Amino acid sequence: MRNRQATSTLFELSRPGRRAARLPACDVPVQPLADLLPARLLAAAPPDLPELFEGDVVRHFTNLSTENMSVDTHFYPLGSCTMKYNPKRNERLASLPGFVDVHPYQPVSTMQGLLQLLYELQGLLAEISGLDAVSLQPAAGAHGELAALMVAAAYFRDRGEQRTEVLIPDSAHGTNPASAVMAGFKAVTVKSTPEGFVDLADLRSKLSPATAVFMITNPNTLGMFDGQIAEIARWVHDAGGLIYLDGANMNAILGIARPGDFGADMMHFNPHKTFSGPHGGGGPGAGPIAVRDRLAPYLPAPVVGLAADKYFLDADRPKSIGRVRSFFGNTGVLVRAYAYIRTHGPAGLRRVSETAVLNANYLLSRVQQLLPVPQGPRCMHEFVASASAVKAERGITATDIAKRLLDYGFHPPTIYFPLTVREAMMIEPTETESKETLDAFAAALAQILGEPADEVRAAPASTPISRPDEVRAAREPVLASPSSTGA
């Protein structure tokens, strides 16, 4: 159901012959394309593209942008995704000509400044992680997971060990088992305790000579730090396996705890969650990985090296798993990460995490007066509330609450994840939100829970699209407005 007039598509705005610019007649001899290009490369007819003048195009996309929620316009409490405000200063720094105008094929001698930045970033990430070597090449967090597991597979092959299983807690991000299978392993689920921690008895029962890696997110997806991690790492290492740390929640422990110090052998970073990079829309992304010394030979190549005061791309790595993407990483995102880390420094990064944890615990104290928080009353950077009780009492689901929050100007939190909590609402305020914003969010949630159930279930009421049939929308997408289809 549409609640206000929908924005027309560019094809609906199109008028034959309309142009953004009109060029003068060509003053050199004209040759038909058929004389210049092979016939197999020529279409039978020009593509059916919209014809508009520049003002139409600018207004169309400007108007569309006002329909979007973004971290620049709204509170975005997406648990696990860490949608915090990122300084525009870092955007400007990443846009300097010395960075954006560098071509990856130009001689290494002409990009020493960029390579120095990337080399130093490798060192900074190694220090933050407590690990020894870093590859900046992976293109996203999940891509970093896959690359690290490929490194683990190469490591065990080189040792002549037949290890086929990756153990993964049942509260893990869905990318963990997917990455394990894509890297050639079998994913084996490890149960969690009611408190959300790894069930040590179940873990011990599944450790075997086939265990290659135990993947763990710590702090976990319930926003809790698993204090058993040192014991878990000892067990896995005694079994001959490796510990992989999903770095999605590093925003909670910067400068406080290092994964390498509590047993991790490899991990990935999400610069968009932790270090000021673009987030959403499928990219652009980066997912650097950090590993211990014994795994360094297998890292994707090239890595940035330094010899005789010159920076170079080290591709002479015979045990490397090879490239996992083009060139040597998404430098635009990596420059932003470097600027963020250097701006904050060690003490500043610690304050980032301390404030993120403080904000999360403050909001938890407000929300748990309204909805149960099974793993409360304390958390790290995020927490998971449950709408199961209000669903049972009034028929209001986590989806209903999420949709209604849109009417109050808040992006909904992550819902129905992790799967270990019924009617989950995963809330992460981050360190960049004020007390007033957190209070307003809690007040909106309280008001929603006091509204008539039918009103909440019909939400949202103020957006261009109300509540579509989500299954039908996925299977039968409507790509034009009703005015163009006669609907």
Q: How far apart are CA 250 and CA 215, in angstroms?
A: 15
Tokens of 242: 């490796």
Point out the domain boundary residue: 319, 344, 369: 344
Q: What is the pLDDT of residue 483?
A: 53
Point out the domain boundary residue: 323, 344, 365: 344
Q: How far apart are CA 487 and CA 480, in angstroms?
A: 10
Q: What is the pLDDT of residue 131?
A: 98
Q: What is the pLDDT of residue 3?
A: 43
Tell me: do 270 and 215 sit in the same domain. Answer: yes
Q: What is the pLDDT of residue 8?
A: 85
Residue 322 lies in a domain: yes
Residues 6+ apart with CB under 8 A from 110: none
How many C-beta neighbours within 10 Å does residue 249 have? Answer: 27
Tell me: do 283 and 380 sit in the same domain. Answer: no
Q: How far apart are CA 461 and CA 481, in angstroms?
A: 19
Domain range for residue 180?
Answer: 89-344
How many C-beta neighbours within 10 Å does residue 89 have? Answer: 13
Q: How far apart are CA 272 and CA 283, in angstroms?
A: 10
Could you tell me the CA-to-CA distances from 22 to 28, 56, 58, 121, 307 in Å, in that order? 17, 16, 18, 48, 55
Q: What is the pLDDT of residue 4?
A: 46
Residue 74 lies in a domain: no
Point out the domain boundary residue: 299, 329, 344: 344
Tell me: do 333 and 379 sit in the same domain. Answer: no
Predicted confidence band of residue 307 (pLDDT cuts 50, 70, 90)? very high
Tell me: do 331 and 350 sit in the same domain. Answer: no
Predicted confidence band of residue 487 (pLDDT cuts 50, 70, 90)? very low
Q: What are phi and psi of 211, to 5 degrees?
A: -70, 120
337 vs 285 pLDDT, higher one: 337
Summarised one tens digit per residue, pLDDT across range 29-67 is: 999 988 999 999 999 888 899 999 999 999 999 988 888
| pLDDT over 50 at 80, yes or no | yes
Residue 51 lies in a domain: no
Q: What is the pLDDT of residue 343?
A: 96
- Of 327, 286, 338, 269, which is closest to residue 119 (Cα–Cα)? 338
Q: What is the pLDDT of residue 46?
A: 86
Mean pLDDT over the full length of the chain:
93
- Written as one letter, the residue type at 226 is D
Residue 177 lies in a domain: yes
Q: What is the pLDDT of residue 297?
A: 98
Q: What is the pLDDT of residue 202?
A: 98
- Of 349, 351, 389, which is closest to residue 373 (Cα–Cα)? 389
Tell me: do 119 and 178 sit in the same domain. Answer: yes
116 burial type by CB count under 10 A (0-12 exposed, 13-18 middle, 19+ buried): middle
Q: Please report, for the domain that includes residue 244, its CATH number.
A: 3.40.640.10
Tell me: do 296 and 351 sit in the same domain. Answer: no
Q: What's the CA dihedral at 219, 225, 227, 228 to 10 degrees?
A: -50
Question: Number of structural domains, the chain?
Answer: 2
Chain-centre distance for alpha carbon 416: 17
Contact 425, 398 (CB under 8 A): yes
Summarised one tens digit per residue, pLDDT across range 260-275 is: 999 999 999 999 999 9
The listed range with the strongest mean pLDDT (261-265, 277-281, 476-480) is 261-265
Q: What is the pLDDT of residue 485?
A: 47
pTM for this entry: 0.88
Q: Which residues of 12-40 are buried (b: 16+ CB within 10 A; e: fewer)?
A: ebeeeeeeeeeeeeeeeeeeeeeeeeeee
Q: What is the pLDDT of residue 195?
A: 79
| pLDDT over 80 at 244, yes or no | yes
Tell me: do 315 and 281 sit in the same domain. Answer: yes
Tell me: do 297 and 439 sit in the same domain. Answer: no
Residue 42 lies in a domain: no
Tell me: do 372 and 338 sit in the same domain. Answer: no
Tell me: do 306 and 173 sit in the same domain. Answer: yes
Residue 166 lies in a domain: yes
Residue 288 lies in a domain: yes
Look up tokens 């009353």; give the residue.
377
Tokens of 271: 């610069």
Residue 2 lies in a domain: no
Q: Please report, for the domain that includes residue 404, its CATH number.
A: 3.90.1150.10
3-state secondary structure the chain: CECCCCCCCHHHHCCCCCCCCCCCCCCCCCCCHHHHCCHHHCCCCCCCCCCCCHHHHHHHHHHHHHCCCCCCCCCCCECCCCCCCCCHHHHHHHCCHHHHCCCCCCCHHHCHHHHHHHHHHHHHHHHHHCCCEEECCCCCHHHHHHHHHHHHHHHHHHCCCCCCEEEEECCCCCHHHHHHHHCCCEEEEECECCCCCECHHHHHHHCCCCEEEEEEECCCCCCCCCCCHHHHHHHHHHCCCEEEEEHHHHHHCCCCCCCCCCCCCEEECCHHHHCCCCCCCCCCCCCCEEECHHHHHHCCCCEEEEECCEEEEECCCCCCCCCCCCCCCCHHHHHHHHHHHHHHHHHHHHHHHHHHHHHHHHHHHHHCCCCCCCCCCCCCCCEEEECHHHHHHHCCCHHHHHHHHHHCCCCCCEECCCCCCCCEEEECCCCCCCHHHHHHHHHHHHHHHCCCHHHHHCCCCCCCECCCCHHHHHHCCCCCCHHHHCC
Predicted confidence band of residue 282 (pLDDT cuts 50, 70, 90)? low
Tell me: do 315 and 410 sit in the same domain. Answer: no
Summarised one tens digit per residue, pLDDT across range 407-427 is: 999 999 999 999 889 999 999
- Of 52, 30, 33, which is closest to residue 41 (Cα–Cα)? 33
| pLDDT over 60 at 151, yes or no | yes
Percent of the chain with pLDDT over 70: 96
| pLDDT over 60 at 482, yes or no | no
Summarised one tens digit per residue, pLDDT across range 333-381 is: 999 999 999 999 999 999 999 999 999 999 999 999 999 999 889 999 9
Radius of gyration of the chain (CA): 26
Tell me: do 224 and 282 sit in the same domain. Answer: yes
Predicted confidence band of residue 144 (pLDDT cuts 50, 70, 90)? very high
| pLDDT over 80 at 1, yes or no | no
Q: What is the pLDDT of residue 2?
A: 42
Percent of the chain with pLDDT over 90: 80
